[in-house]
């Protein structure tokens, strides 16, 4: 038999860390600080199950058959209204529905990247974005936005787009300040690069009021035709299992993304879109937010208090003011955090090492810890286990 045709080269350019931490889910009594999962207590189970029954009964044509590629008009209209301000008048032509934020990232890669082109990415960068764009074999210009020496314009020149998570970035938990948002917009203007504003954590502010989005900051009072491609999702506001996300952008970008979506999954679940439309238009998402913020604030405080007690000898970190993650660096440069992940697993705790958030896969100096999934007692026990692992590696 003739040898089979080879697989594409980009498959050799991944790491096995993700597979290791996904498999870790099978280990009994493991405390998982590695993922980015919302708490099951945060899901509005009763309300969503009632909405699901209602929308199938009331809208069988929208929920049970094929839908328009860019999304159900009802949900596009609800979102256009939700994001409109006096200076940002949006219509459904500015909105496209995706199968989660993950699909939005994939489609952006499809419409903007030829193989080998450049992305200016906030560093460290979201693993799911790196994975989405890997088949396009991009080159990355990293941007450490909090570093005053970071030359954003240089990073963005010749780039197809800049990728940022301005609200409590995954993995760093950092907030991109208004001045840095302005600098990103100015650089987009100067270089012609698109500016991807990925915003799953935009509602999860625990200590202050939300900063303006770059989408809002680039509004002119006229129909939106600016450089920002804004991404939202129900995943951290309602439930990730619904797999509903959205893109807000200039109509020319929405049209291009629609062509890409047609060749990808044709349309996102009408049932889930209709649930999301009702959840937003009837105020469910806004109603559950205060309780969820309290829940997550307590968990953040518990994780950080346990870290203060057990980990300050080994790690440095900043307490985040929102989102789902604490990002920490090892004090001892001889400790590799890929190795720490393995030793942590032997002690019954799973963390995410920084290598998976580095396009080159090289950074071994950091870890990401999630605080939303587990109750405070488990967070504390997870931190104790991590401290044991670190003291063994000393």
Ligand X SMILES: Cc1ncc(COP(=O)(O)O)c(C=O)c1O
- Nearer to ligand X by C-beta: 240 or 348? 240
Q: Does 249 bind ligand X (CB under 6 A)?
A: no
Q: Which stretch binds ligand X (CB under 6 A): 16-24, 95-103, 273-281, 294-302?
A: 95-103
- Nearer to ligand X by C-beta: 200 or 270? 200
Q: Taking a C-beta distance cutoff of 8 angstroms, is the pair 174, 141 a contact?
A: no
Closest CA to 267 of 57, 76, 26, 17: 76
DSSP alpha helix (H) spans, 311-350: 337-346
Instruction: Candidates 71, 245, 322, 353: give the one binding ligand X (CB under 6 A).
Output: 245
DSSP output for 251-319: HHHHHHHHHHHHTTTSS--HHHHHHHHHHHHTTHHHHHHHHHHHHHHHHHHHHHHHHHHHTTTTEEE--
Cα–Cα distance for residue pair 101/88, rounded to 1 Å = 22
Q: Does 44 bind ligand X (CB under 6 A)?
A: no
- Nearer to ligand X by C-beta: 89 or 128? 128
Cis peptide before 61 (omega within 30 of 0): no
Q: Does 32 bind ligand X (CB under 6 A)?
A: no
Q: Does 320 bind ligand X (CB under 6 A)?
A: no
The answer for residues whose C-beta is within 8 angstroms of residue 25's C-beta and 6 or more apart is: 32
Closest CA to 87 of 190, 215, 181, 179: 215
Q: Which of residues 225-244 bind ligand X (CB under 6 A)?
A: 233, 235, 240
Place of tokens 């804004």: 230
Q: How many CB atoms lie within 10 A of CB 237?
A: 24
Q: Does 102 bind ligand X (CB under 6 A)?
A: yes
Q: How many CB atoms lie within 10 A of CB 105?
A: 24
Q: Does 352 bind ligand X (CB under 6 A)?
A: no
Which residue number is nearest to ligand X in terms of Cβ?
A: 100
Instruction: Candidates 101, 124, 202, 322: give the one binding ligand X (CB under 6 A).
Output: 101
Q: Taking a C-beta distance cutoff of 8 angstroms, is the pair 229, 253 a contact?
A: yes
> Nearest approach, Cβ of 334 to ligand X (angstroms)?
30
Q: Which stretch binds ligand X (CB under 6 A): 50-58, 96-104, 181-189, 312-320?
A: 96-104
DSSP output for 25-59: GGSTT-EE-SS-PPPGGGS-HHHHHHHHHHHHHH-
Q: Which stretch binds ligand X (CB under 6 A): 41-49, 52-60, 100-108, 210-218?
A: 100-108
Q: Which of residues 112-171 bind ligand X (CB under 6 A)?
A: 126, 128, 165, 170
In the shown chain, the binding pattern of residues 182 to 221 toward ligand X, with x for contact by CB under 6 A and - for none, equals ----------------x-x---------------------
- Nearer to ligand X by C-beta: 88 or 247? 247
Q: Does 268 bind ligand X (CB under 6 A)?
A: no
Alpha carbon 249 to chain centroid, angstroms: 18
Instruction: Candidates 70, 71, 100, 227: give the one binding ligand X (CB under 6 A).
Output: 100
Q: Which residues bind ligand X (CB under 6 A)?
A: 36, 100-102, 126, 128, 165, 170, 198, 200, 233, 235, 240, 245
């Amino acid at each position: 038999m003739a040898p089979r045709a080879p697989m594409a080269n980009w498959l050799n350019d991944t790491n096995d860390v993700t597979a290791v931490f996904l498999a870790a889910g099978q280990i009994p009594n493991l405390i998982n600080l590695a993922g980015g999962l919302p708490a099951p207590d945060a899901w509005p189970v009763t309300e969503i199950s009632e909405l699901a029954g209602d929308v199938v009964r009331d809208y069988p044509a929208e929920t049970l058959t094929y839908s328009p590629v860019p999304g159900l008009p009802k949900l596009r209209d609800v979102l256009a209204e939700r994001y409109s301000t006096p200076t940002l008048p949006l219509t459904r032509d500015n909105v496209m529905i995706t199968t989660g934020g993950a699909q939005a990232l994939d489609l952006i890669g499809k419409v903007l990247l030829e193989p080998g082109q450049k992305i200016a990415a906030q560093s460290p960068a979201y693993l799911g974005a790196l994975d989405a764009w890997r088949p396009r074999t991009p080159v990355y210009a990293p941007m450490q936005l909090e570093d005053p020496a970071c030359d954003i314009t240089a990073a963005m020149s010749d780039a197809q787009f800049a990728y940022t998570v301005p609200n409590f970035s995954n993995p760093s938990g950092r907030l991109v300040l208004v001045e840095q948002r302005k600098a990103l917009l100015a650089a987009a203007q100067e270089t012609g690069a698109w500016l991807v504003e990925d915003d799953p954590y935009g509602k999860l502010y625990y200590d202050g009021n939300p900063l303006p989005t770059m989408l809002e900051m680039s509004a002119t009072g006229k129909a939106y035709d600016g450089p920002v491609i804004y991404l939202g999702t129900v995943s951290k506001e309602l439930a990730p299992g619904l797999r509903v996300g959205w893109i807000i952008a200039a109509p020319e970008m929405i049209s291009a993304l629609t062509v890409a979506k047609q060749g990808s999954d044709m349309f996102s679940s009408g049932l889930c879109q209709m649930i999301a439309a009702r959840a937003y238009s009837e105020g469910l998402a806004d109603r559950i937010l205060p309780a969820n913020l309290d829940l997550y604030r307590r968990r953040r405080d518990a994780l950080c208090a346990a870290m203060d007690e057990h980990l300050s000898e080994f790690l440095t970190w900043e307490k985040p003011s929102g989102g789902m993650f604490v990002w920490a660096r090892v004090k001892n440069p001889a400790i590799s955090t890929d190795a720490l992940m393995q030793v942590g697993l032997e002690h019954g705790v799973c963390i995410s090492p920084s290598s998976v958030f580095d396009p080159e896969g090289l950074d071994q100096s950091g870890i990401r810890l999630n605080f939303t999934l587990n109750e405070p007692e488990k967070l504390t026990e997870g931190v104790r286990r991590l401290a044991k692992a670190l003291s063994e590696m000393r």
